């Protein structure tokens, strides 16, 4: 495992946000930072859901090198950290989404190297843990997805509707994804990615309705999907993030396995 310099606890706390103001300008967006279309249907802070970051996506998804969905983040310097959020994901008219692959959650991404063309293949390195509904029996689910050099693998787990706490920890190039249940952090997935060893983007992702028309459009390829905002389909995610908080891995360990 790569040795890293710990970000100080005081520095980590400077990235915390309780969303008690209406300011969005200290958050960066993926579409503005790297020059892609805006896949956001609605976003605000402390308005739609008081005290929360609120996000609704247009239809789309993140998979492999397709990134047709909103992502808001802060940039963390090199070092180890744990990030947690409390999130509620609702459907358009239901307590939990019912359209396939309609989820929102925490994402960590290695920014595209400045010398790499933004349409180049093999450079997407990111992972996320989300909640909502993925596929199968229409019940709340968690999804974790890990992408290494543009190739993704996902896993799906049972979840519950309403407010849940999600977390990701980074120690060197090891990442743990977890959720909190009955006062304990349950680690659902541990992965290694040596391409995520320096500065990282950390923040909120949302995506919705892949198994509708977007699934059929997957044959179009990444270039068309990454550059086209489709107004049809059935967006089915209303995500509220109550806070985002950062700790050292020693302060907030994810040691309990399910």
pTM recorded for the entire structure: 0.94
Contact 190, 173 (CB under 8 A): no
CATH architecture classification, 9-252: Sandwich (2.60)
Query: 25-60: per-residue pLDDT in tens?
Result: 889 999 999 999 999 999 999 999 999 999 999 999
Q: Domain spans of the chain?
A: 9-252
Distance CA 161, CA 38 (A): 28
Q: What are the tens digits of pLDDT across the range 175-207?
A: 999 999 999 999 999 999 999 978 999 999 999
Sequence-ordered list of residues with C-beta below 8 angstroms from that of 182, at least 6 positions apart, any chain: none
Query: In sequence order, what are the residues at sequence separation of 6 or more whose Cβ sits closer than 8 angstroms to the Cβ of residue 135?
Result: 100, 101, 156, 211
In a 10 Å sphere around its CB, with 0-12 CB exposed, 13-18 middle and 19+ buried, how is residue 183 labelled? exposed
**Residue-level pLDDT at 202:** 98
Q: What percentage of residues in the chain have a pLDDT greater than 90?
A: 81
């Amino acid at each position: 495992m790569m040795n890293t310099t710990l970000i100080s606890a005081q520095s980590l706390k400077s990235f915390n946000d309780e969303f008690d103001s209406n300011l969005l300008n200290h958050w960066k967006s993926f579409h503005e930072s790297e020059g892609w279309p805006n896949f956001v249907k609605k976003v605000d802070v402390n308005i739609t859901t008081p005290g929360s970051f609120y996000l609704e996506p247009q239809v789309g998804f993140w998979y492999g090198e397709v990134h047709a969905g909103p992502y808001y983040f802060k940039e963390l310097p090199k070092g180890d950290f744990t990030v947690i959020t409390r999130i509620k994901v609702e459907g358009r008219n239901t307590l939990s989404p019912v359209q396939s692959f309609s989820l929102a959650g925490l994402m960590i991404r290695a920014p595209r190297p400045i010398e790499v063309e933004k349409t180049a293949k093999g450079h997407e390195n990111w992972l996320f843990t989300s909640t909502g509904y993925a596929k199968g029996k229409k019940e709340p689910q968690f999804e974790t997805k890990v992408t290494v050099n543009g190739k993704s693998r996902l896993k799906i787990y049972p979840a519950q509707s309403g407010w849940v706490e999600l977390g990701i920890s980074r120690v060197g190039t090891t990442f743990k994804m977890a959720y909190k249940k009955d006062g304990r952090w349950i680690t659902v997935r541990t992965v290694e990615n040596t391409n995520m060893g320096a500065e990282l983007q950390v923040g909120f992702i949302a995506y919705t309705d892949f198994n509708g028309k977007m699934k059929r459009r997957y044959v179009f390829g990444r270039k068309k999907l990454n550059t086209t905002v489709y107004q049809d389909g059935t967006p089915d995610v209303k995500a509220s993030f109550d806070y985002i908080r950062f700790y050292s891995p020693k302060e907030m360990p994810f040691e309990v396995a399910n």
